[in-house]
Chains A and B, each alone.
Chain A
Amino acid sequence: MESLLFYSFSALSVLSALSVVLVKKPTRALLSLVVTMVALSGLYLLLGAYFIAIAQIIVYAGAVLVLFLFVIMLQGVAAEDIPLLKRFPLRYIILFLAAGGVFIALLTVVFSRINFPALRVPEGTLEAVGRSLFTDFLLPFELTAVLLLLSVFAAVALAKKDDAL
């Protein structure tokens, strides 16, 4: 049962990630990325990371990708017709695909030779993650709050009209 879920979720995530990279229209690439995020959150559920799985759906599928969708829609047709294959000659693309294939094959060989112990899935509930956040990781947690505030300031300062201040 577990391996069935793992293989179906991973096939879904790899296929939709490929379609993000290869599909022509930006809106379709974006919606394929939503599928990737949902498949990844299924994998997080299999790994016992319940809080991360829900945060993945809320933060990525809910907030980040909707922001992307707004920007793509605002840019309209101008962003659509950039061809995929005009940038490089075909032999560079084949070379790059071969390099990626060699990298993946190396990973497979190396990791299948290591004897990993069986997974001890922790209970990554909101309570456990929150306890760890507010004890061991308190300083980085507060720093991320500062980082988010700064990024809000930076986005507003970048995107406003020059004479609007």
Chain B
Amino acid sequence: MITAAHYLILSGVLFTIGLLGLLLRRNVLLILLSIEIMLNAANLSLVAGSALHGEVDGQVTAFFVMVIAAAEVTIGLAIAVLLFRKQDSVDTNQITFLQG
């Protein structure tokens, strides 16, 4: 018998994996990919909540999260392209021009 607890635990596991990638990776593009995993974990818990209450509202919220993720990816990739154009690298250890 699958209950909402299973989906919420799975969502927590995916969120932790995304956080691991966010902290361990050094490539800006792969950090963006890890953020996508975390957003999708949040989406899974929203849809599970929707099924828990028998309402469609959680799915609508998940749709909004999807739209916001698309906007975030657009801006993030544009910034990554700019970084690459400016210093030929997307390594976060080499992006130091905010150090003053």
Which of A59, A71, A124 lies in contact with B77, CB distance below 8 A? A71
Q: Are B1 and A3 in contact (CB under 8 A)?
A: yes
Count, chain A residues at interface, CB 8 A: 83
Q: List A residues 124-155 near B (Cβ within 8 Å).
A: 124, 128-129, 132-133, 136-137, 140-141, 144, 147-148, 150-152, 154-155
Rounded to whole Å, the gap between the CB of B46 and the closest CB of chain A is 9
Chain B residues in contact with chain A, CB under 8 A?
1-10, 12-14, 16-21, 23-27, 29-30, 32-34, 36-37, 40, 43-44, 47-48, 50-57, 59-60, 62-64, 66-75, 77-82, 84, 88-91, 93
Q: Tell me whether A47 and B14 are in contact in the complex, defined as CB-CB below 8 angstroms, given that A96-B23, A132-B57 are known contacts.
A: no
Q: Would you call the interface of chain B mostly helix, strand, loop, or mixed?
A: helix
Contact of B59 among A52, A96, A103, A151 (CB under 8 A): A52
> How would residues 48 to 73 of chain A score, 1 for a CB under 8 Å from any chain B CB and 0 otherwise?
11011001100110011001100110
CA distance A152 to B67 in the complex (A): 13
Given the known interface contacts A33-B33, A132-B60, the answer about A21 and B20 at a Cβ–Cβ threshold of 8 Å is yes
| Other contacts beyond A44-B44, A79-B84, A133-B60: 16, CB < 8 A | A20-B33, A21-B24, A26-B29, A47-B50, A48-B51, A52-B43, A52-B66, A55-B63, A68-B73, A68-B77, A78-B84, A96-B20, A116-B5, A148-B71, A152-B74, A159-B78
